Amino acid sequence: MKKILVVLLSLLALSATAQESSQRTSVVCGPYLQNVTTTGFTVMWISDVDAVAWVEVAPDDNQSFYYADRPKFYDLSGSGIKPVNKVHKVTVSGLEPGTRYRYRIMMKAVDKYYHFLDINYGREYGADVYTSEPPVVKTLETSYKEVKFSVVNDIHEKDSLLRRLFSDQEKTRKMDFVVFNGDMTSSLSTVDKLVKFDLTPACELFASELPFYMVRGNHEFRGRDAIHFPEYFDFPSHGPYYTFKYGNYFFLVMDSGEDKPDNDIEYQDAYCTDPYLRAEAEWLKGIVASEDWKNAEKRIVFSHIPPQTTDAWHGNWNMSNLFLPVLNGASVDLMICGHRHSYAFEKIGVSDAKFPVLVNSNCERADIKVSPKSISIEIFNPDGKKLRSVKL
């Protein structure tokens, strides 16, 4: 009788294990590209359950993805231990400049993680390259004659508007990258809003194959989950302010902070943006002193909050007192902003910025082409109709 009981218990245990190990994971959002460089790129995506993840990469040739065992790249943020989580961030390196690669995202669900190294894995997930073509990414060229990009901002969770602004897929594909210039959400009370209103449409519209860059707006400071905002992008560890280059064209992404002082009653003592923005200003001094900045063909700055001296709020004060003293005199060719929800193109002298400033509206798309001789700006409404153009 005792033996029968032991066998029954063993069978029950096996059955339970079999059920647990049948769990599989799927992609909730993604993949989306971050930090595409001349020699690599970062892929991010979100899974429904905890999983370990990797990315497989193949040349964009005529061979099947299944022709060979493809190189595997893992999330190295665990310093040698595979992270177990839902937000996955894998950097692929060692590639050739200006070259197209196919990639597919891979995962293995983690059902249980016991005290030591007893891990119950679920079924593996792999993007099925039989039924859908794997996305293709092109590494950056070492030099560019011109660079083209699209900018939207202040969409404030209207994802249907975002989809309309990028409905011309053919046109979007001709761009080198896309920028979300802040306030794409109204608050991050739950991080699901970032996924639903920003990342999911971005992935469906362009971000699996086209690099996109996120600029934090003041509304992305707000809400209980706002502190998790940086985890959904491949930002530097110091925060969502950074630079990137396309050949000799230099792009600076700033975090312009909140629009009111930290001690405003509305913020309920949640912020310490003053020391954070001061640290950013110190970092900025190093950027404009760098050889890359000085030798750049053009220097384009993204900042959600614009320079403004009339009817200025504290966000404009930060710009005037922390950032413009560094940027004025640093040969900025154009600053691209949002925040005001209305269009303006401000020549030197309109504010205290010593460079031209484009303020894009909250319902239009700015397509910008930068070349050695000029910067051209075209503004489109959600129906794709060109409303304005400016040439610098």
Compute the least distance from the CB of residue 219 to Fe ion, in Å.
Answer: 6
Which residues, including other chains, have CB under 8 Å from residue 272's CB and lie 6 or more apart?
A: 262
Decide: is 314 part of the binding site for Fe ion (CB under 5 A). no
Compute the least distance from the CB of residue 309 to Fe ion, in Å.
Answer: 18
Find the binding residues for Fe ion in span 93-152 (CB under 5 A): none
Compute the least distance from the CB of residue 304 to Fe ion, in Å.
Answer: 6
Closer residue to Fe ion (CB): 216 or 339: 339
SS3 helix, strand, coil % of the chain, rounded to 5? Answer: 25, 30, 40
Angle at 286 between CA 282 and CA 291, to 5 degrees: 165
Q: Where are the alpha helices (DSSP H) in the chain?
A: 2-21, 159-165, 169-173, 192-193, 200-202, 273-288, 291-294, 314-318, 324-327
Closer residue to Fe ion (CB): 156 or 369: 156
Find the residue with minimal CB distance to Fe ion: 339
Closer residue to Fe ion (CB): 148 or 260: 260
Compute the least distance from the CB of residue 114 to Fe ion, in Å.
Answer: 47
Closer residue to Fe ion (CB): 155 or 377: 155
- The window from 32-40, 121-129, 134-142, 180-188 that contacts Fe ion (CB under 5 A) reads 180-188
For Fe ion, which residue of 138, 216, 339, 365 counts as binding (CB under 5 A)? 339
Closer residue to Fe ion (CB): 42 or 218: 218
Amino acid symbol at 33 = L
- The window from 14-22, 60-68, 211-219, 290-298 that contacts Fe ion (CB under 5 A) reads 211-219
Tokens of 268: 């309920």
Q: How many CA atoms lie within 13 A of 179 on its CB side?
A: 28
Closer residue to Fe ion (CB): 35 or 362: 362
Name residue 126's beta-bridge partners. Answer: 106
Decide: is 218 part of the binding site for Fe ion (CB under 5 A). yes
Decide: is 315 part of the binding site for Fe ion (CB under 5 A). no
For Fe ion, which residue of 31, 40, 122, 217 counts as binding (CB under 5 A)? 217
Compute the least distance from the CB of residue 314 to Fe ion, in Å.
Answer: 12
Amino acid symbol at 313 = W
Burial of 268 (0-12, 13-18, 19+ CB in 10 A): exposed
Compute the least distance from the CB of residue 341 to Fe ion, in Å.
Answer: 8
Decide: is 183 part of the binding site for Fe ion (CB under 5 A). yes
Q: How many residues bind Fe ion (CB under 5 A)?
A: 4
Q: Where are the alpha helices (DSSP H) in 154-272?
A: 159-165, 169-173, 192-193, 200-202
Closer residue to Fe ion (CB): 153 or 243: 153
Closer residue to Fe ion (CB): 89 or 339: 339
DSSP-derived letter for residue 234 is T
Check if the beta carbon of residue 38 is closer than 8 Å to that of residue 140: yes
- The window from 37-45, 125-133, 210-218, 351-359 that contacts Fe ion (CB under 5 A) reads 210-218
Distance between CA atoms of 163 and 184, rounded to whole angstroms?
Answer: 13
**Number of other residues whose CB lies within 10 A of the CB of residue 147:** 23
Name residue 171's beta-bridge partners. Answer: none
Which residues, including other chains, have CB under 8 Å from residue 66's CB and lie 6 or more apart?
A: 129
Compute the least distance from the CB of residue 349 to Fe ion, in Å.
Answer: 24
Closer residue to Fe ion (CB): 24 or 341: 341
- Could you list the residues that contact Fe ion (CB under 5 A)? 183, 217-218, 339
